[in-house]
């Protein structure tokens, strides 16, 4: 596979609820990216990383606030 083939873009059509589209737009602004596609690419990359760490390595995701309070994040289908 050539480098050009590896990074070839393929158009995809997705149906989603209006609320999800709203979240996508909010994330686009928060992440300061130019497109919804970039938000989706980053989201897929993050989910892949989390799935690999949880499934393959037995890791857990823990969120900690600035006061040191911790909560485990459970993701449906992974935990």
Range of the domain at 63: 16-73
Please report whether residue 52 resides in a domain.
yes
pLDDT (0 to 100) of residue 56: 86
Please report whether residue 5 resides in a domain.
no
Total structural domains within the chain: 1
Please report whether residue 10 resides in a domain.
no
CA–CA separation, 33 and 40 (whole Å)? 11
Ranges under pLDDT 70 in the chain: 1-4, 79
53 closest CA partner among 79, 15, 19, 25: 79
Contact 24, 39 (CB under 8 A): yes
pLDDT (0 to 100) of residue 1: 59
Please report whether residue 34 resides in a domain.
yes
């Amino acid at each position: 596979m050539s480098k050009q083939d590896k990074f070839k873009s393929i158009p995809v059509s997705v149906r989603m609820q209006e609320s999800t589209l709203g979240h996508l737009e909010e994330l686009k602004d928060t992440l300061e990216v130019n497109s919804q596609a970039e938000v989706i690419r980053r989201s897929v990359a993050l989910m892949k990383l989390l799935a690999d760490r949880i499934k393959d390595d037995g890791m857990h995701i823990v969120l900690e606030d600035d006061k040191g309070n911790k909560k485990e994040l459970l993701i449906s289908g992974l935990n």
